């Protein structure tokens, strides 16, 4: 299965991506995760990306497209993948189409997660993750047993720089201006499936499977 997950920040794409990887044995390819790792390692792409990420803006297309092109060429992505957070602009979608047409592939489905703005702000502001193993928590919905400490590995929980209140609104604005046009783009291609992203993640996953004809 070759699936694209679309939706605003905080819509639950990452959670659904992880469930999909288990179901289809296909890798989750998250440009956000890859960029955060690149920043941590201080690579060239990381250095190009970090200021944009911190400000809640999109990293320039050429940087992200380069990263994805390399990632999709690796052997584990040949049979299928779950794209989480890419494409985020029409330019990126066109670049992806170019990569696919060269290799004769096509996307099976684009899942568009719909969540009202007022829910998104609370979801993002309460998000925490483990500084070591990356496990995700939420202060209201899935709090760790001990405040600030990862249940899984005991390391310190942190808040992503761009999950701070002052950056969240910026990210939502950027989504509306630069990423939301992809909804029409993929609708015209006939591959868009709308998913109601409000509610329990297991119920949402049922909708996802139904949308994929499973």
Question: Among 2, 36, 128, 171, which one carries the catalytic annotation?
Answer: 171
Nearer to ligand AMP, 23 or 54 (CB): 54
Nearer to ligand AMP, 74 or 145 (CB): 74
Residues 6+ apart with CB under 8 A from 140: 122, 126
Question: Among 123, 127, 128, 193, which one carries the catalytic annotation?
Answer: 127
Nearer to ligand AMP, 29 or 206 (CB): 29
Nearest position to ligand AMP, beta carbon: 32
Containing 22, the helix (H) or strand (E) segment is helix 13-24
Q: What is the DSSP letter of 75?
A: G
Question: Among 13, 71, 123, 193, which one carries the catalytic annotation?
Answer: 13
Buried b (16+ CB within 10 A) or exposed e, 62-71: ebbbebbeeb
Q: Token pair for residue 24?
A: 């289809």
CB of 59 to ligand AMP, least distance (A): 4
Binding residues vs ligand AMP (CB under 6 A)? 9, 31-32, 35, 52-53, 56-59, 64, 85-86, 88, 92, 162, 171
CA separation for the pair 94, 187 (Å, rounded): 14
Q: Are 106 and 41 in contact (CB under 8 A)?
A: no
Nearer to ligand AMP, 94 or 146 (CB): 94
CB of 68 to ligand AMP, least distance (A): 8
- Residues 55, 183, 135: CA angle, nearest 5 degrees: 50
Q: Catalogue the active-site residues.
A: 13, 88, 127, 160, 171
């Amino acid at each position: 299965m070759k699936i694209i997950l679309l939706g605003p920040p905080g819509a639950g794409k990452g959670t659904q991506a992880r469930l999909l990887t288990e179901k289809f044995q296909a890798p989750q390819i998250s440009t956000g995760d890859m960029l955060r790792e690149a920043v941590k390692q201080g690579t060239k792409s990381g250095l190009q990306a970090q200021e944009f990420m911190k400000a809640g803006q999109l990293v320039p297309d050429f940087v992200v497209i380069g990263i994805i092109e390399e990632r999709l060429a690796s052997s584990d992505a040949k049979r299928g993948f779950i794209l989480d957070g890419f494409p985020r602009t029409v330019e990126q979608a066109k670049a992806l189409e170019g990569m696919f047409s060269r290799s004769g592939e096509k996307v099976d489905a684009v899942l568009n997660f719909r969540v009202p703005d007022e829910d998104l702000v609370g979801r993002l502001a309460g998000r925490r993750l483990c500084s070591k193993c990356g496990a995700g928590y939420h202060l209201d919905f899935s709090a760790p047993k001990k405040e600030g400490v990862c249940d899984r590995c005991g390391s310190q929980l942190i808040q992503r720089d761009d999950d701070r209140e002052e950056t969240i609104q910026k990210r939502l604005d950027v989504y509306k201006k630069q990423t939301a046009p992809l909804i029409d783009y993929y609708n015209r291609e006939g591959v868009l499936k709308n998913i109601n992203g409000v509610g329990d993640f297991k119920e949402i996953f049922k909708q996802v499977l139904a949308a994929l004809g499973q």
